[in-house]
């Protein structure tokens, strides 16, 4: 019994995981905020061929790092590997149009909502009235394209089981498949559908649906640390209250 009691006492006094409540301390000690981002989701995040990043959430990441008095380091990730990269602690926060999803919430906390959106289709402008409902899209002759992983592929597999579905590996070029006529339509976040239409005037158009197919919320995905959550929360409250976030997003929507 004494041996068992001693073992239990030893377990009680063992230190917990170093990362559990020390993320903010690690950021300050490191002198850098590691931001996970896909770099393929305009207007939130985009990585150019030279490796530089731009977009509304990229600008926000730089301001967040500046408020902490540290530099920012962008950590490349993908939608298919985002959850695993988070679990492996490859970054301190994920930014770039991240949707708050149950599977992600199970791993760690999100900030307050930065943008409310919903899934809508984007197609060639000649077909904008053709794809006005899920039923019109979910037909065997309709070629639906999605990027791998995350919410777009999940939505398509759950709601478009009769359509001909193609998973295109590169989210940065997935819309080229539609404009080139190799695919017909993609169901994605409404802001992306609108932005891609603006980038391809007269070629791509948001389909004429009466309302979005879903409701979703964008936010920043943080590692577990109560101090980091409070700090990011206060900073983001100020960014939104001052109008800086809205101005940043508006400018990114106008960018080529």
* pLDDT digit string (tens) for the chain, length 256 residues: 444 344 333 333 333 334 455 999 999 999 999 999 999 999 999 999 999 999 999 999 999 999 999 999 999 999 999 999 999 999 999 999 999 999 999 999 999 999 999 999 999 999 999 999 999 999 999 999 999 877 899 999 999 999 999 999 888 899 999 999 999 999 999 999 999 999 999 999 999 999 999 999 999 999 999 999 999 999 999 999 999 999 999 999 987 6
Order the strands of the 53-54 sheet from edge to edge: 40-41, 45-47, 53-54
Per the rule left: phi > 0, alpha: psi between -120 and 50, beta: everything else, 208 is beta
CA atoms of 156 and 177, how far apart (whole Å): 17
What is the number of alpha carbons within 13 Å of residue 153 lying toward its C-beta? Answer: 13
Q: Please give the pLDDT value at position 21.
A: 58
Place of tokens 């109008």: 243
Q: Which domains, ranges and CATH numbers included, belong to the chain?
A: 17-116+217-254 (3.40.190.10), 119-214 (3.40.190.10)
Closest CA to 217 of 104, 124, 134, 107: 104
Q: What is the DSSP letter of 127?
A: G
Q: What are phi and psi of 128, to 5 degrees?
A: -60, -30
CA atoms of 83 and 86, how far apart (whole Å): 5
């Amino acid at each position: 019994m004494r041996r068992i009691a001693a073992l239990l006492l030893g377990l009680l006094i063992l230190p917990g995981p170093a990362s559990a409540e020390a993320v903010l301390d690690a950021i300050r000690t490191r002198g850098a905020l590691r931001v996970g981002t896909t770099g393929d989701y305009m207007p939130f995040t985009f990585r150019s061929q030279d490796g530089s990043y731009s977009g509304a959430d990229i600008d926000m990441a730089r301001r967040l790092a500046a408020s902490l008095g540290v530099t920012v380091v962008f950590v490349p990730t993908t939608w298919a590997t985002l959850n695993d990269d988070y679990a492996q602690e490859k970054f301190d926060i994920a930014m770039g149009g991240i949707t708050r999803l149950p599977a992600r919430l199970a791993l760690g906390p999100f900030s307050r909502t930065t943008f409310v959106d919903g899934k809508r289709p984007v197609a060639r402008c000649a077909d904008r009235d053709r794809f006005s409902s899920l039923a019109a899209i979910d037909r065997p002759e309709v070629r639906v394209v999605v990027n791998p992983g995350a919410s777009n592929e999940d939505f398509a597999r759950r709601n478009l089981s009769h359509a001909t579905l193609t998973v295109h590996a590169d989210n940065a070029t997935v819309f080229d498949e539609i404009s080139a006529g190799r695919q017909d339509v993609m169901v994605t976040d409404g802001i992306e559908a609108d932005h891609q239409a603006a980038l391809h005037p007269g070629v791509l158009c948001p389909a004429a649906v009466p309302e979005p197919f879903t409701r979703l919320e964008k936010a920043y995905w943080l590692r577990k640390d109560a101090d980091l959550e409070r700090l990011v929360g206060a900073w983001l409250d100020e960014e939104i209250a001052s109008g800086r976030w809205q101005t940043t997003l508006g400018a990114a929507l106008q960018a080529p």
